[in-house]
Amino acid sequence: MPYDLNRLNLLVVEPDADVASTWRRLSATLRIKTPNIVPDTAQAWTLLKGAPQANGSVSGLRVDAVIVRWELAGEDGLNLVTRLRRDPDSPAPFLPTVIVTGTVTRERIRRALDAGVNEVLALPLAPKAVENRLREMVERPRKFIREGGYFGPDRRRQVRADYAGPFRRAADRAAE
C-alpha cells in the first residue's frame, strides 16, 4: 500500500514567492500538508536547530524532509545539504533532502549526490515528478553510508545482479 503523503511534513527553502506559491498548490494537489516555507538557508537551519522535543519534533516543528532550492542568494542550497550531513552539530544528518534546480547537468547531479542529497528535481516543477521523488524517499529509503569524505544516502539506486565489479566498498568485498 502506498505511503499516505498527507502524513509528510515538509520544510521548503525557496526564496521566490511565485515558486513558493507553486509549492503550496502542488502540496494541495498531492494531498500533502501545507509545507513550511522559508526564503533562505539561515532560517531553515534555525528551524532545524531548534530544541529537540520528546516526540522527535524540533521546536514543535516536525520535519520529515527538506526541499531546498540550489540557487539561493548567500549560502546556496547545496551548502545546506552539506551542513546537514557533515556538521558535527547538525540537528538532522539523516533527514531526507531534495534539491531543486533550474540547471540540470550530469556534473550538477554528481555534485548534488556527492553532497548527500536523496533526490534531484528540475524546474519547472511537475506534480508527478514531485510525487515520484517524495515517494522514492519514503517508500524506498536508501541506507546511509560513511565512506572517506562522504556521508549520505547510498548513491546506488539498485543492486545489479549482473555487475561483475570492481567492488570497492568493504561490505561489497565481504559479500564476495
Q: Which of 34-43, 44-53, 144-153 has the lowest mean pLDDT?
A: 44-53
Q: Return the top range by mean pLDDT from 46-60, 69-83, 151-165.
A: 69-83
Q: Which amino acid is at 110?
A: R
Beta bridge partners of 89: none
Q: From its phi and psi, is residue 8 left (phi > 0), alpha (psi between -120 and 50) or beta?
A: beta
Residues shown for the chain: 176
- The dihedral through the CA atoms of 77, 21, 129, 105 has a sign that is negative
- Of 74, 52, 150, 65, which Cα lies nearest the Cα of 100? 65
DSSP state of 58: B
∠ CA 119-41-74, nearest 5°, is: 110
- Sorted by where each starts, the structural domains of the chain and their CATH numbers stand as 5-175 (3.40.50.2300)
Q: Is the confidence at residue 56, as pLDDT, over 60?
A: no
pLDDT at position 64 is: 92
